[in-house]
A and B are shown apart, each in its own frame.
Chain A
Amino acid sequence: MVVLGLVSLITDISTEMVTVVLPLFATLALGLTPAAYGLLDGLYQAATVLMRLVGGFFADRLRRPKLMAGTGYALGAAAKLLLLPAGGAGALSAAVAVDRMGKGLRTAPRDLLIATAAPPDRLGRSFGVHRALDATGALLGPVVAFGLLALAPGDFDMVFVVSFCAGVLGVLLFVNRVPESETRRGAVAADAPGERSDARAISGQDVAALLRIAGFRRLLCAAAILSAATISDSFLYLVLLRNDSVGTRWFPLLFLCTSLVYLALAVPFGRVSDRLGRHRVFTFGYGLLLCAYLAAILTGGASGAVLCLVFLGAYYAATDGVLPAAAVPLLPAELTATGISIVQAAVAAGRALGAVAFGVVWSAADGDAAVWAFAAALTAALLATAPLIARARVRRTEVR
């Protein structure tokens, strides 16, 4: 799963280096207004959520998570190539669509592969390792992109070619070095694989049955509710900006700081979650998010901003990999990818809802009031969901 992490690292470099230059490319080279580009972007965020569900479902149905994830990685690489002749909004949106489709398709099967490769009592650590490498890639991507643009200002095509090459390397590494998943451990003993299970492909009814698993349903509800009380990063950065904690010129550093904290803490928090219980670390993560909100509004200056970002990075480290690690033991082996994709879709939908709500509150009042409102909402959500999460855990795989 370190190999999977490396694949993610390379792929993320490839994807992120394009993501950071795409607004520049769209406005400068193609002459689109940022409004048009923003619309495009928002549209595809929604499409990604749908593709995640598709990717998860078919990974389970075809029983070939590696094929699904591999297709996703290949689509991601191909999208970079599509950008080369892009000469308009249509071509650009097609390339972005293919890229997001690939990202959506590969996420759940990839998480299934991670879950398969890890012993059940070290799931948290495994996801932590993967997320740390993933975050490293996301961090390096912009560095590489701006480095290349510094060598040759305005040569976006060169950036796209390099990104494509990195994407291809990721696919090669994935195809060659990641083993095809076997049926999950534990499940192997339960029913002999190959005979009965191959006879019937999973259907929509099985997916519906997932929601009848009490533990999974509780975790899903909790994750969705907490996500809806989440302020998106960019909004939180804006609050810091509006409070004059940081100047506009430091804007790129906010993202950097958050990512550094995230990748530094992802593995330790994963380990802790294996020992102390994933549900505890997950709940604790949202407590950290609450601290980030409070730091944003109660403290001022650069030190307050740093404090806020440290809390934000720690929140990601305590939730992003820990949530699937908490979900996997609750799921039947043949529906793991589907289950993971449902949780991720719920989180994404919750966050989208939260972003809209935050925008509305901010327009009606001001930034600080909106953060206060969300701090209150998050506190309420935590109080409501903490018992749900506590009851969702599986004693079998968690030590305490």
Chain B
Amino acid sequence: MIRVDLRRLNDGKIMLGIAVLVMAVAASCVASSALRASTTGGAGGGSVDLPEGRQIVFRSLRPGPAFGRIAVLPAADVGRERTVLSTRCERTAASPKGGLCLRQTRNPMHLYSAVLLDGRLRPGKEVPVNGIPSRARISPDGRYYATTTFVTGHSYLSDGFSTETVIGRVGGDPVGNVEEFTFLLNGQPNQNVDRNVWGVTFVPGGERFFATVATQNRRYLVEGDIGRRTLTAVRDNVECPSLSPDGRRLVYKKRTGSNSDVWRFHVLDLASGVETPLAETRSVDDQAAWLDDDNVMYAVPKGGAGGRNADVWVTSLRGAPPRLLIPDADSPTVRSNGHAQRRV
């Protein structure tokens, strides 16, 4: 085939023609893409009416101009048309006081940043983050936020990749990289250098949080304390915890099977220590979020693991099978608009 091409392409004019054509294709593709990026709407900054009451804030993955933008639906009526905001994110999370958006910047030296959103989810202060966004969470009282990113080229020692988890204080000094907290394993400070931390979930109203620590190929559920700067191992073989709104239960991914990479959602009752598998039987790679005290939601890639688009699914703790909640969406969290947060 190459041989045939060779004879024909030896004519310089034909080759020049093809070259020009190829360059035109490239140029038009860039132009149309840039145009789409600059003109795409959704609602303009500030003038949006957010739905009343409890809202689900998520990332819309509907193909077209809305792709990747923050969107809002009333939790009571998810069948409604979504309200799409103008901010594009890779991950997002919201609290009654505001929100968080991890997004790509236009600065090649700092490819990603965390943007704090105000009460009406409009973008405000922007701080750079290291690496590719993975998880975003904001505390229910809106005081703290946490970002987890994949840092490539940071460490080749543990699982072949490295995460960086940073806790920030809204309107104050950053708390810093959680990896530098003291890690207490069986009551003893652990000095392993290959430590990785990810998947923070905040305890309402306090300075505490839960997260995942990985070291020496093991994963631990840890309870963290921002004031004392400690991480205390609570359980192992689980990751990506998420605390219920009433603060009594944790949902997390638990590795099932001996050496497989199959993870299943489980719910832990903190008071009794009883662990129950969720009705969702798929291996989902997401940090779940609570829709309310009885339902958790999470994003499932369409067309199996590694699909380019995703849907948000919901599973009840009461054992009903999982169902589709929001099509073409990921990164869901719930905020109750204007209502005071319940204390534990």
Q: Which residues of A does B touch, CB under 8 Å?
A: 23-24, 27-35, 38-39, 67, 70-71, 74, 86-90, 92, 143, 146-155, 158, 161-162, 165-166, 168-169, 172, 175-176, 234-235, 237-238, 241, 248-249, 251-252, 359, 362-363, 366
Contact = CB atoms under 8 A, between A and B. Distances in A.
Contacts of B132: 23-24, 27-28, 34
A90 to B, nearest CB: 8
Interface stretch (B9-17, B274-282, B287-295): B9-17
Query: Which among A23, A67, A172, A176 has the greatest number of chain B C-beta atoms within 10 A?
Result: A176
Given A88-B306, A146-B108, A169-B19, A234 B159 contact: no
Main secondary structure of the interface of B (DSSP, over half): mixed
Contact of A148 (B3, B30, B36, B90): B30
B303 interface: yes
B339 interface: no
Interface in B1-41: 2-3, 5-6, 9-10, 12, 15, 18-19, 22-23, 25-26, 29-30, 33-34, 36-37
A344 to B, nearest CB: 23
Best-buried of A71, A146, A152, A168 by chain B (most CB within 10 Å): A152
Contact of A161 (B25, B108, B156, B304): B25
Contacts of B194: 363
Interface stretch (B47-55, B73-81, B114-122, B146-154): B146-154
Given A31-B310, A234-B156, A70 B2 contact: yes
Given A31-B310, A158-B29, A248-B130, 13 more contacts: A27-B150, A28-B90, A34-B150, A34-B152, A147-B108, A151-B33, A152-B36, A158-B30, A168-B18, A172-B15, A175-B9, A249-B109, A249-B130
B25 to A, nearest CB: 6
A39 B109 CA distance: 26
Contact of A153 (B106, B110, B133): B106
Contacts of B310: 31
A31 B159 contact: no
Contacts of A147: 108
B319 to A, nearest CB: 27
A234 B153 contact: yes
Interface of B: 2-3, 5-6, 9-10, 12, 15, 18-19, 22-23, 25-26, 29-30, 33-34, 36-37, 67-68, 88, 90, 103-111, 128, 130, 132-134, 150-157, 159-162, 193-194, 285, 301, 303-308, 310
A169 B10 contact: no
Given A88-B303, A88-B304, A154-B104, A33 B161 contact: yes
A290 to B, nearest CB: 23
Contacts of B162: 34
Contact of A168 (B22, B155, B306): B22
A19 to B, nearest CB: 12
A88 B304 CA distance: 8
Contact of B301 (A31, A92, A176, A366): A31
Nearest to B302: A87
Contacts of B130: 248-249
Q: Which residue among A32, A67, A155, A169 has the maximum number of chain B CB atoms within 10 Å of its CB?
A: A155
Nearest to B151: A248
Contacts of A234: 153, 156
Contacts of B153: 234, 237-238, 251
Contact of A158 (B23, B33, B67, B151): B33
A161 B153 CA distance: 27
B110 A249 contact: yes
26 contacts: A24-B111, A28-B90, A28-B133, A29-B308, A31-B305, A31-B310, A32-B305, A87-B303, A87-B308, A89-B305, A92-B306, A154-B67, A154-B68, A154-B88, A155-B36, A162-B29, A165-B22, A165-B29, A169-B19, A175-B5, A238-B153, A238-B154, A238-B156, A249-B130, A359-B157, A363-B194
